[in-house]
Amino acid sequence: MASCGEERHIIMWDPFLRNAIAYLNGHTTSVQDLALNEDRYHLISLGTDKVVNIWHTNTYVRIQTIFDKVCYRPEDRLTSLWFDSNTNNILLGSRKINLWSFKTQEEIKTSHEYPVAFALNNGAFESVVSADDGGFIAVWDLEDGKLMSKFGGAHGGKNKVTAGCFDNT
């Protein structure tokens, strides 16, 4: 069981022993509403500053933060939160219902399948080059963060890349 309020944290309760088992700290304003995604063991919380946090209910760790930057007229505030398990969407209420197609951090695909060994900024080409333990090197556009190119087998197959640097040319 979970409860929230003006004190900016969420309290996880054992309903049988009637005592607090965890305090989830991470909101900087009062917590407005809570919702549960039971399939993924996620607790979803809404702060009065329009920040949504997603917590893992087994570890009590915040796993994702979403900032709603939409200006809602006339009060610019959200009042309620609901998770629809049938469509996997977060519904937010202001003066109207706002639908967010929801993807957890685990579902968002990354460009590296292996741990990243390094990332280097190349100011001359306004890009970032990163490499991973699987031997893949990726080049990113610094302005929009998009992947420009990626190649593998940098060190003969799946050998690890451990470091990198640029020369002056």
Instruction: Print burial letters for 94-125: b (CB count within 10 Å at least 16), e (below 16).
Output: beeeeeeebeeeeeeeeebeeeebeeeeeeee
Q: Do both 136 and 94 map to the same domain?
A: no
Q: Do both 95 and 19 map to the same domain?
A: yes
Domain count, the chain: 2
Q: Do both 9 and 68 map to the same domain?
A: yes
pTM metric for this prediction = 0.59
Q: Do both 17 and 35 map to the same domain?
A: yes
At residue 110, the pLDDT reads 60
Q: Do both 31 and 67 map to the same domain?
A: yes
Q: Do both 92 and 123 map to the same domain?
A: no
Query: Considering just the CA atoms, what is the radius of gyration of the chain in Å?
Result: 21
Q: Do both 97 and 115 map to the same domain?
A: no
| Three-class secondary structure of residue 101 per DSSP | strand
Contacts of residue 98, Cβ cutoff 8 Å, sequence gap at least 6 = 68, 70, 72, 78, 91, 92
At residue 105, the pLDDT reads 46
Q: Do both 22 and 93 map to the same domain?
A: yes
Q: What is the DSSP string of 36-90?
A: EEGGGTEEEEEETTSEEEEEETTTTEEEEEEE--PPPTTT----EEEEETTTTEE
For residue 159, give the DSSP letter. P
Residue numbers of the domain that contains 166: 109-169
| Three-class secondary structure of residue 24 per DSSP | strand
Q: Do both 84 and 151 map to the same domain?
A: no
Structure tokens at 136: 């893949």
Give dist(CA 95, CA 26) in Å, integer.
26
Q: Do both 122 and 166 map to the same domain?
A: yes
From first to last of its 169 residues, what are the pLDDT tens digits of the chain?
A: 999 988 899 999 998 988 999 999 999 999 999 999 998 899 999 999 999 999 999 999 999 988 888 887 778 888 899 998 888 888 888 877 766 665 554 454 567 777 888 899 988 888 898 888 888 888 888 877 788 887 777 776 667 788 888 887 7
At residue 102, the pLDDT reads 56
